[in-house]
Chain A
Amino acid sequence: MRAYSIFAVPESLSSADRLNRRRMLARLGLAWLIMMQVMMFAFPGYVRDDPMSDADRSFLDSAIIIMNWISLALTVPLIWYCAWPVWQGFIGQVRKLRVGMDVPVALGIVAAFVPSVWSTWTARGEVYFDSVTMFVAFLLTARYMELCARQAMGIGKTHEFIEQYRSVLSIRADRIAFWFTAIQLGLTAVVGLVWYSYAPAQAVGVMVAMLVISCPCAMAMAVPTAIAAAHASLLAQPDTDQSNLYRLVCATGQVSRQNLYGSMAWHVLMMPLAAVGWVQPWLAALTMLLSSLAVAGNSWRLFRRQAHAAQAVHSPRVVTG
Chain B
Amino acid sequence: MTRAIELRIPTERPFHGVARLVVGGLAARHDLSYEALEDLQLALVTVLEGESYPAKDEVGVQLRVSDDSIEMLIGPLNGDRVRADLDSSGEELGLGRLLATLVEDAKVEAREDGDWLRLVKRVRGIKPAGANV
A binds B: no
> Which A residues form the contact surface with B (CB < 8 A)?
none
> Which B residues form the contact surface with A (CB < 8 A)?
none
